[in-house]
Amino acid sequence: MGERPYPLELLQLESMLRRLHRNHRERDWITDRIKRVEAGFSGEQKVDQYMKSLRLPGNWWILRDIRLRIDEAHVAQFDTLLVTDNGIVIIEAKMIKGTLHYLENPRRLERTEEDGSVLTFDCPMIQLENQKEGLSYWLRERELITNIKGIVAFATRNTWIGLPERAPFVSVKELPYIPNTSVNMIVSRILEEELGPERIQIDQHYGINPHEFKRGLLCEKCDGQLRWMTRRKLECPTCGVPAGNPYQQALLDDFLLIDPVITTRAFCEFTGIPSISTGLRHLNSVELDVLGSTNKQRFRFDPMRHLKGKTLIQKR
């Protein structure tokens, strides 16, 4: 199975928080969103933990973080797809703690907090039904016919009130196996058309202009802007001389927040690196797509090929 990729949205949110000034209007919202995405990722990792112990007969594959274009207006994302000889199981992970009350009209989940307030969650069954319908349509269009089932795997212990008897909710510890087409054909087609992680346009999605982000190299301890003492030596006015490699983090921030395709000059302008040759050396130190000739060279970032965890892949 390997390791589930670190969510691209979470990387972008972390870069945003690192690069926004401390009094920025969106910092509280971004901090809350980070907690939500982290909880979802933690739930998906719990699913992976228990899926590793599966021992299924015949051919089977586990596909994770799959995005497929259903039609021109609709892209569907799937946390986990278990593809077997006898069908596909869509597994959606949820990390919602506590006592949950299921309610109809509209369908939703509610949790009463300690202070008496009520927190409402979208009903996972609606999401699951939409995913099953979308995947069924996608398969039919490609003349690939198989059974599809969906389950919601909760990664926490929950007490339920009003839950329908046949609701497709399970604990990750109870992930079922629902062992008729060729598995290899379905898997190959899904992987062939998988869109990869979505890179969110910061200005369009969050309403934050790229010019609002701090430029320069940042301290890895306090996110403060580093100061050039000499052409090679950096210092944080708050923390002293920084450890680590602020250049690589700045490069990733540039790709995530500004543009996935940059020139050496644009990278130097973003970071404040005084020398074009120094900027080019750092760009050449990581795995990127190189576009154009030497005089008009650009560097393209592809999160599916150039990321390992939360960092850019270094050249050997």
Q: Report pLDDT for 178.
A: 45
Domains, the chain, with CATH or none: 8-193 (no CATH), 214-312 (1.10.10)
276 vs 240: CA distance, rounded Å: 26
* Mean pLDDT of the region 15-21: 94
Say if residue 292's pLDDT is above 70.
yes
* Mean confidence (pLDDT) of the chain: 87
Return the pLDDT at 311. Answer: 92
pLDDT at 86: 81
Distance CA 168, CA 124 (A): 9
Would you tell me the crossing angle of helices 246-253 and 276-283 to the nearest 10 degrees?
Answer: 80
* Residue found under tokens 């919602």: 96
pTM: 0.78
pLDDT of 296: 82
